[in-house]
Amino acid sequence: MRNLIKIAVRNLFRYKRRTLLTSSLIAFGVILVIVFGGLAISFKTQMVGILTNTALGDLQVHKKDYVESVDNLPLNLTLSGNKLAEVEQTLKQSPYVAAYSPRIKFGAMISNYAQTSNIRLSAVYPEMENKTCPGLVNRIEKNIPNPDQFIRPGEVIVPDNLMKGLGLKIGDEIVLVATNKDGSVNGIPLHIGAVIESVLGPAGKDGFIHIDDAKTLLRMNEPEIVEIAVHLKKFDQLNTAFNELKKGMVAPQSGIEVHTWEQLSPFASIARIVDLLILVVKFILISIVLVSILNIMTMSVYERISEIGTIAAIGTRPGRILSMFLMEGFAMGLLSTAVGIVIGLGLLWLMNLAPIDFTFGMMRVSLAPSIPAREVVLITIIVMLVSIFASLQPAYKASKMEPVDALGHV
């Protein structure tokens, strides 16, 4: 085996320029996958992080059919009493759940006594909301001394576009008017506590109030929760946690639904497109490796027919000749991948020294590209397998040569 590796590696360096050119091409493909993958994965992770940590949570629990009619913000599809207690008990007992936040979401009118506009409100318990969406306070344009109390009863947090539109400033009094589930209209005066930037861009009009104020405004005797946002201990356990929670809550007739962030946000489609692009780049890499190795190994076999005849004549079994050429292709792939990985990771490291900042919608994104170790391992495995596959035909041809014909080849 050691001898096979030795011969394979030495044969590679026999035609240095050709090997260097082919290796460079494969290494370029590996660099492309690592750098593009690093940037794309970083972009996706950042965006998903912003969405889940500042707005959606990792999972959400709703009354059945709520998500289908979410645009109307219905107040008759809610969880309360024993049902709410059961759901909360399940979440508390789940080993995957780090925190959860019950929310009442509803539409309201906001008035500064001169002008009126509409607003979409999330009524929350600030401490629970802060633990579930720890990035939310970063979107509030005010120094929050205690993030667990980012909203207090009697205050409303208003999106900056409404603040500008209605000419409001912090401390001003406004009136919120809303219709409850019975059709009864009510209004309460509140003060502007803070301004929040919209995560959804200029069209977003999402504000926050304390859940106690929502109870008053909507004339609820007890909180009637519209959605419960859930923050997981480990985001990569999303699917496992989703399935476990579904199993625990979504019994037939329970009237409960669990959704992952992917089922709730249109960004999931963008995330899937990013994954698709990474896949396309991987296919480009596979094509590069396949064509390069096939080409170089075919040339190698045709150039060394007489040599193949010699090693066959002195007693090398066909299987060993096959292994010798497979090893050569494998060594070429391994060498190129190693170089590509080193350069690719080096480029990612350089990019981290000067992070790329940009705004996506209203979200400030700072790309610090990195690639998970499993992706690097996957790239290596792909190149190795494709290298062996590409070497297979030339190696098979070499092993099938009759020594007497090969020796006579000029």
Partner 1 sequence: MTLIKLENVTKVYTTGEVPVTALKGINLEIGNRAFISFIGPSGSGKTTLLNLMGVLDKPTEGNLVVNGINISLLDRAEAATFRANILGFVFQNFNLIPVLTVYENVEYPLLLVKHTTAQERRDRILRLLEQVGMIDQKNKYPNQISGGQKQRVAVARALVTNPQVVLADEPTANLDHATAFKVIAIMHEMQKEFGTTFIFSTHDPKIVGEAEIIYTLEDGVLVNQETKNRN
> From the CB of 29, what's the least distance to partner 1, in Å?
27
The residue among 11 and 53 lying less far from partner 1, judged by its C-beta, is: 11
Residues 193, 158: Cα–Cα separation, whole Å: 8
> From the CB of 333, what's the least distance to partner 1, in Å?
19
The amino acid sitting at 3 is N
Give the C-alpha distances (Å, rounded to integers) separating 56 from 47, 108, 368. 12, 20, 23
Positions that interact with partner 1 (CB under 8 A): 3, 6-7, 10-11, 14, 306-307, 309-320, 402-404, 407
> From the CB of 364, what's the least distance to partner 1, in Å?
57
The residue among 152 and 317 lying less far from partner 1, judged by its C-beta, is: 317
DSSP state, 208?
Answer: E
> From the CB of 307, what's the least distance to partner 1, in Å?
7
The residue among 10 and 142 lying less far from partner 1, judged by its C-beta, is: 10
Tokens describing residue 237:
């356990």
The residue among 142 and 317 lying less far from partner 1, judged by its C-beta, is: 317
> From the CB of 47, what's the least distance to partner 1, in Å?
52
Query: CA 231, 104, 242: angle at the middle one, nearest 5?
Result: 30
The residue among 3 and 93 lying less far from partner 1, judged by its C-beta, is: 3
> From the CB of 318, what's the least distance to partner 1, in Å?
5
Strand partners, 174: 190
The residue among 228 and 308 lying less far from partner 1, judged by its C-beta, is: 308
The residue among 266 and 319 lying less far from partner 1, judged by its C-beta, is: 319
Burial class (CB in 10 A: 0-12, 13-18, 19+), 239: exposed
The residue among 320 and 364 lying less far from partner 1, judged by its C-beta, is: 320
Strand partners, 158: 195
- The answer to whether 367 and 355 have CB atoms below 8 angstroms apart is yes
- The answer to whether 196 and 207 have CB atoms below 8 angstroms apart is yes
> From the CB of 5, what's the least distance to partner 1, in Å?
12
> From the CB of 293, what's the least distance to partner 1, in Å?
19
Backbone dihedral region of 281: left (phi > 0), alpha (psi from -120 to 50 degrees) or beta? alpha
The amino acid sitting at 194 is A
Contacts 24+ apart (CB under 8 A), 213-217: 213/123, 213/153, 213/154, 213/156, 213/188, 214/104, 214/106, 214/121, 214/123, 215/123, 216/186, 216/188, 217/108, 217/176, 217/178, 217/180, 217/186, 217/187, 217/188
